[in-house]
Every structure is written in C-alpha cells, then in structure tokens.
Amino acid sequence: MTTAFGSNASRPAGSPGPRGLLPLLLALLLLLAPLLVGAPSARADTQDRVDYTLTNQSGKDFSGQQLAGSSFAGATGRQASFRGADLHGSILTQATFPEADFRGADLSDALMDKVDMSGTDLTGAVLRGAIAAGSNFTGATVTDADFTDALLDRVDQRHLCREARGTNPVTGADTRLSLECG
C-alpha cells in the first residue's frame, strides 16, 4: 500500500509533490510572520525578560529593575538586592536568596516553590498570588508585606504570623490579614 506521499498516482495533475510544498509553506510562513509575532508592544514585553536560571547572582544589585517574567530558577542570590524591583510573574523555583533585600519588590504571581528566603527582608513587598510552597522563610522580615492569595506551607504561614505587622503601602493590605493569621 502506498500513500499520497509515496506515489504520484493519487495526486491530481499539476499539483506540487511533497518537496514542492516546502517552498510554498516557507513563503506562506514568511508572509504571515508579522502576524504570528504580534504587535511591537507585545514583543517589547517579552524582550525585557531575562534568564538567570542556574546562575550565581550573589551580592548583585537589581534594585528598581523591571524583571517581570524573568527566570531565577535554581539561581543563587545570597545578599543580592531586589529593592523595589518588579519581579511580577517571575520564576524563582529552587533558588536561594538568603539575606537578600526584597524591600518594596513586586513578587506578585511569582513561582517561588522550594526557595530559600531565610533572613530575607520582604518589608513592603507584594507577594499577591505567589506560589511559595516548600520555601524557607526562617528569619525573614515581613513588615508591611502583602501575602494575599499566596500559597504557603502551613508551617511557614504560622512562623511568618509571629512577626507579621503593618500595612502594605502599595496595596493597603494588612500583613496579618493577608497571611490569614488567627
């Protein structure tokens, strides 16, 4: 048994064979490329994303930077500064940021599972909707932080509630209420 690609018998006269289709498909792709890529503003959003996966960023200064959607998966950032940085929707999975400065940072909707945040300063940070299951927040400062709808392990949540106080200056959320402290 032969297929249409294996035999010319089932192809109408004058139609291109499989090898003749490739140039046609490439030409069509080139014509449609601007539509597939999107508007210039959509490209700008993805161009700002940076990949720091599995890198050492210890002591680096990312203060005030636009890092939304960037990846720090598996990265090391001991004593790094992310003060006031936009990390909205970033991936920090299995990274280590002991003693890092995240004061006033936007970590909303960030994927932060299994992250070492021990001794980290999260004063005034926004962690709305962050997924931080399996992370370590031992010794973290969370004054004025917003954890609304964040996913935390129960042990971390209880530990953070011991030190939680204040109101987030950006969202107006009470830190204790956002952590659902009892």
The two structure tokens encoding residue 176: 């204790």
User: Does residue 76 lie in a domain region?
Assistant: yes
For the chain, the domain total comes to 1
Residue 158 belongs to domain with CATH number: 2.160.20.80
User: Does residue 41 lie in a domain region?
Assistant: no
User: Does residue 29 lie in a domain region?
Assistant: no
pLDDT < 70 stretches in the chain: 1-48
Q: Which domain holds residue 94?
A: 55-182
pLDDT at 75: 98
User: Does residue 43 lie in a domain region?
Assistant: no
User: Does residue 7 lie in a domain region?
Assistant: no
User: Does residue 22 lie in a domain region?
Assistant: no
User: Does residue 110 lie in a domain region?
Assistant: yes
CA angle 136, 160, 146 (to 5 degrees): 100
User: pTM for the full model?
Assistant: 0.74
Which runs of consecutive H residues, i.e. helices, occur in 1-104?
Answer: 18-37, 40-47
User: Does residue 160 lie in a domain region?
Assistant: yes
